[in-house]
Structure 1
Amino acid sequence: MTTEAEIYKALGDPIRLEIVKRLSSKRSCAIGELCQDLGISRQGARKQLQILVNANIASLNSVGRETKVALDIKSLQQAQRFISQLEKVWENRLLALKDFVEVVR
């Protein structure tokens, strides 16, 4: 299982984040099409995609001579659950602070 740190590290690069955004609107996409206008070479795109694959955010599938890239939303859902838990913790802390301030007044 991929850790949240690995997921966020993979998403922390602007090019990889753009790749994920592009994949989110498509079922799967060829590497060349996906990485068009990113300002990186095909080899550079492959390296960025491999980082996403290692974090279980994307998968590569060979279809004939073409490699298709697909988004694996399970890791993104894991990251979302982690953020939601943090959000609840901070919401509870802020509510406790609000209650404390109202009592002190």
Structure 2
Amino acid sequence: MPITSITLKLKEHILTMLGQIKPINYFPPRLQFFRPEHTEPFKELDKVGEFTVEFLLVVSELLAIQEKTNYPKGSLTESLYRDFGIKDRFSVIQKAVLKRLR
């Protein structure tokens, strides 16, 4: 399967995860969604990226937990992932930067 297709499947997996995350009131955070077997469909990406898929999935989930905890109605991260692969890079980056400046 082409790397682009695998990357878009990873994006969809992350969007699924983002929809499952709930705010927390404890520390340290515990992963709510990630399972090691989630990495299997994306192993080919480990060969081309700087970071492993496992690292990206865990970090993405920790960031999602942080966003849902601090901003329960927040949706910037999910919105950026939805735009990834559909809109041009400039639009995605502009949305991230302008949202932070407001």
Please confirm whether the aligned pair reaches a TM-score higher than 0.5, indicating the same fold. Answer: no
Q: Which has the higher contact order (CA 8 A, sep 6+)?
A: 2
TM-score normalised over the length of structure 1 = 0.29
TM-score normalised over the length of structure 2 = 0.30
Structure number, greater radius of gyration: 1
